[in-house]
Structure 1
Amino acid sequence: MAGWSHRYARINDLDVHYVEQGEGPLVVLLHGFPHLWYSWRHQIGPIAGAGFRVVAPDMRGMGRTSGPADHREYGVDRIVGDLVGLLDHLGEDRAIFSGLDFGLFAAYDLAHHHPERVAALIALENPFFTPSRESPLTLAARQAERHFNHIHYFAAPGVADRDLAAAPRDFLRKVFYALSSDYHYLDVWKKPPGTSYIDALPEAPPLPWTWLTEPELEFYVAEYSHSGFTGGLNWYRAMDLSWEHRKSYEGRRTTVPYYFLGSEQDADLEGWHGDDPLNRLADHHADVRNVRMIESAGHMMQMEKPAETTAAMLEFLARRGE
């Protein structure tokens, strides 16, 4: 795309790839799994055009950013170090961070550890760390005794790595469709224990869809075929380590300006954050500025409803000083 610059840097012992466009206050866009910087392709240009310096990195172990094979290298301290190192590399004291899924959790961790480096948070879909007395992988294992659970499936070293690498196009096509508003993602839980993720996912209609073309899917397929899936899966395998770490700020709230943007058919809001999570935002964030919900979108909101998602983000950015 015109205006995008692909850059590489050595940060926190990683070879980090990021895309950059624009000048002005820094906005950093953080993706989850199985995503890439490319999941922000509809937002980078418009935000840069509104007077911001936009940076969208490939996160640790995904895309063109390297990652260790050991899942213990994906804990909170390592990920926060990646973000601090990125800011230092860019020559910026602070940035506005937006994220989805693991990318947003990384931004939350940074806001707890280094609030002085976070000018604001624009949160997509995941409103907060959901308190739990039970570790995530323990909970997932218990659920997997009754039905398929993707977290438990991902947690076993070598299993998902092998299965997904053998069929990257099938997996990515199916999971993107399942997470969209065109399917009720939690129906995958109806599959029996021991089902592979690819078999648990629904059959997806042929491309193009209204929000994804064949060349766009092929970009993800090519990148994950190159990198493999282990780096992304290690974020799941480190979930218990991260859960233990986050106990140190349990009960504390973020203190930076906070904006929430969700979608009405998001699987995470339905399945992982308890009842009525939007009315509990203030329990987790001390400076909630605005909340917006987008209709007829699922977890893939940046791609499913790019115009609406971008417009809301631009509004939040314009109002961040209020």
Structure 2
Amino acid sequence: MDKSFERCLAFIVGKDFGALSAYRIGVLHPERVSAIITLGTPFIQPGPSVVQNHLLPEGFYISRWQEPGRAEADFGRFDVKTVIRNIYILFSRSEIPIAAADQEIMDLIDPATHLPPWFSEEDLSVYASLYEKSGFSFALHVPYRKLKVDRSLIDPKVSAPSLLIVGEKDYSLKMPGVNNYIRTGAMKHLVPDLDVKFIEEGTHFMHEQYPDQVNQLIIAFLGKHGA
């Protein structure tokens, strides 16, 4: 192996469930990480308790999508473009997606609902073309159906400087304990060198909704830490 590669330090950026992987790298390989930037998701100890499904109703979207075959049957009622459209509309709201007993997750969207103004029909077509090739199986399996796998770490401290960017209107802030965990500074027990920035009108897709603002926060953080 090239010795220069062994000395290489990385700046890692992760969004949503990708943030869990970014933090995990920071825990397991601190000597390789210069800094970590995550969007929307704080550092949570991986394992069966990563998402508190039992604290939310049965119709909680993650619980539904963890059931083998259920999301596939739900999505299969629609073309791929409609599924992507529904997901963007649903996840752009400030409420946790929860279906009633007689509903599936896709039923939460009125077909007449417009896309968010920052997500164009052209964007939708591009995203849909990718999923038309790949399907949704892998996206459902990882991460949703792998969340309960026990990957607990001993003393999971992230020593690298870290930036967490959160949309104030991201529905995930309403998941049990998440808002307090971020705002009270409890996360700093695991990520001591942490900076948290909030985007006032930001949703779960704040990086697409406010790309310039998110990019400026990232660039400023990278500049501060030598990138």
TMscore range, shorter length:
0.7 to 0.9
Q: Does 1:169 align with 2:81?
A: yes
2:132 to 225, 242, 256: 225
Q: 1:153 to 1:192 in 2, by over 3 A?
A: same
How far does residue 227 in structure 1 lie from its aligned partner after superposition?
Answer: 0.5
Superposition deviation, residue 161 in structure 1: 2.2
- Tell me the amino acid that sits aligned with residue 268 of structure 1: S
2:188 to 282, 306, 316: 282
TM-score (norm 2): 0.85
Could you report, residue by residue, the CA deviation over 1:77-100 in whole angstroms, capped at 9, with x for unpaired residues?
Answer: xxxxxxxxxxx9xx6833101111
Amino acid at match of 2:68: P
Of structures 1 and 2, the one scoring higher in RCO (CA 8 A, sep 6+) is 2
CA contact under 8 A between 2:46 and 2:147: conserved in structure 1? no
Superposed, 1:37-48 pairs within 5 Å as none
Query: Per-residue CA shift, 1:124-157, capped at 9, x if unaligned?
Result: 111220688x6457x53x457x441111211122
How far the C-alpha of 1:216 sits from its partner, in A, is 0.5
In 1, distance between residues paired with 2:49 and 2:34? 31
Name the structure with the higher strand share: 1
- Structure 2 distance, partners of 1:198, 1:269, is 22
Contact 1:123–1:259 (Cα < 8 Å) also in 2: yes
The answer to whether structure 1 residue 298 and structure 2 residue 209 are counterparts is no
- Do 1:170 and 1:198's aligned partners in 2 also have CA atoms closer than 8 Å? no
The 8 Å contact of residues 19 and 43 in structure 2, kept in 1 or not, is answered as no
> Is the aligned partner of 1:268 residue 2:179?
no
Q: Which amino acid aligns with 2:163?
A: Y
CA distance in 1, matches of 2:94, 2:42: 20
- Residue type matched to 2:134 in 1? S
| 1:276, distance to aligned residue in structure 2 (A) | 4.8
TM-score for both structures, normalised by structure 1 = 0.61
Unaligned runs of 5+ in 2: none
Instruction: Count the aligned residue pairs.
Output: 219
Distance 1:200 1:147, change over 3 A: farther
Distance 1:275 1:237, change over 3 A: same
What amino acid does structure 1 have at the position aligned with 2:220? E
What CA deviation, in whole Å up to 9, does each residue of 1:265-318 have, x standing for no partner?
A: 111222152525232231120222x32111111010110111111111111111
Distance in 1 of aligned mates of 2:105 and 2:169: 21
Matched, 1:178 2:72: no
Gaps of 5+ in 1: 1-87
> AA paired with 2:175?
G
Alignment of 1:1-322 (within 5 A): 93-129=8-44, 135=49, 139-140=52-53, 142=54, 146-167=57-78, 168-180=80-92, 183-186=93-96, 188-189=97-98, 191-193=99-101, 195-201=103-109, 203=111, 205-207=113-115, 209-234=116-141, 235-241=143-149, 244-246=150-152, 248-249=153-154, 251-272=155-176, 273-278=178-183, 279-288=185-194, 290-321=195-226
Letter in 1 for 2:209: E
SS of equivalent to 1:309: helix
Partners of 1:148 and 1:200 within 8 A in 2:
no
Contact in 2 for aligned 1:121/1:259 (Cα 8 Å): yes
CA gap of 1:131–1:109, structure 2 versus 1, over 3 A, is closer
Distance 1:179 1:239 in 2: 19
- State the match for 1:64 in structure 2: none
